[in-house]
Amino acid sequence: MIRFCSLGSGSSGNATVVEATSGITTTRLLIDAGFSLRELETRLGRAALAPEDLDAVFVTHEHSDHIGCAVALAARHDLPVWMSRGTWRALGEAVAPPRLRFARDGETIAVGDLEVRPFTVAHDAAEPLQLRCGDGDRGVGVLTDLGSITEHMLEQIAGCEALVLECNHDEAMLAASRYPPSLKARIGGRYGHLSNAIAAELLGHVSGSLCQLVAAHLSRENNRPALVREALASAWGSGPEDIVVADPVAGFAWLHAG
């Protein structure tokens, strides 16, 4: 059995917990820790978890809304922390949590009952990885930061039962925003963040296996949950209310894959 929840999602911080249970064993992976240590511990508590309940941390890339307290958390609670070599170099190689492990595109990592498969995405970080997490039966794709759809990424998430998918901005709202042109170009570019329209296009490539869809990493300034639901529902063929939208503060409560 596999389930997942978010401790918050948006440009102010991201953290997702994926949990696999097999018989009497349970494994929990924290994906990103984009909050202060105190805040993260508070948010874990909301999901009825403590840091001791985690088995490992995976950092997808070095942006502050993802790395957050990951290194301090891993050091304090003696957790293995996975990241790409590029992410580690971008942090400054002096940053060396005691149980640092390197992850690479396409190399499956076994974390207890979880199979974690990282894969490269188009995003403006040193070596960003996004993840597919499975328990050998069902799979969850976690795609919070990416600028465009690639064949490689589509191959990795094919057949997932659940997907956490970035819906960063509404293209018209971003165009009309007061952001400087350079920032608009960065966000909307191939290595920036997914718009609602491109997220909807991505759904068109994902097979019919998908049962649970969560929209994540919404911009406070340039998006609205209603616009996200409208865009994704028409692409997925569901009702707008079937789409869970992750909140920057509340995240989303536990959901089952499948």
- The residues of the shown chain that bind Zn ion, judged by CB under 5 A, are 63, 65, 145
Q: Do residues 252 and 5 lie in contact, with contact meaning Cβ atoms separated by under 8 Å?
A: yes
Pull the structure tokens for residue 180.
């400087």
Smallest gap from Cβ 132 to Zn ion, in A, equals 18
- Closer by beta carbon to Zn ion, 65 or else 127: 65
- Closer by beta carbon to Zn ion, 62 or else 113: 62
Angle at 22 between CA 21 and CA 26, to 5 degrees: 40
Q: How large is the greatest C-alpha to C-alpha distance in the chain, in angstroms?
A: 54
DSSP 204-220: HHS-TT--EEEEE---T
Smallest gap from Cβ 78 to Zn ion, in A, equals 27
The H-assigned helical ranges of 68-224 are 70-77, 85-91, 151-157, 171-176, 181-188, 196-205
Smallest gap from Cβ 258 to Zn ion, in A, equals 27
Helix (H, G, I), strand (E, B) or coil at 93: coil
- Closer by beta carbon to Zn ion, 20 or else 198: 198
- Closer by beta carbon to Zn ion, 127 or else 145: 145
Smallest gap from Cβ 185 to Zn ion, in A, equals 16
Q: How far apart are CA 120 and CA 213, in angstroms?
A: 21
Nearest by Cα to 53 from 17, 79, 28:
28
Smallest gap from Cβ 128 to Zn ion, in A, equals 7
- Closer by beta carbon to Zn ion, 63 or else 132: 63
Smallest gap from Cβ 14 to Zn ion, in A, equals 6
56: CB partners within 8 A, 6+ apart: 29, 30, 79, 80, 81, 82, 111
- Closer by beta carbon to Zn ion, 32 or else 113: 32
- Closer by beta carbon to Zn ion, 60 or else 156: 60
Nearest by Cα to 121 from 109, 107, 131:
131
**Which H/E stretch holds residue 69?**
none
Smallest gap from Cβ 144 to Zn ion, in A, equals 6
Pull the structure tokens for residue 231.
């865009």
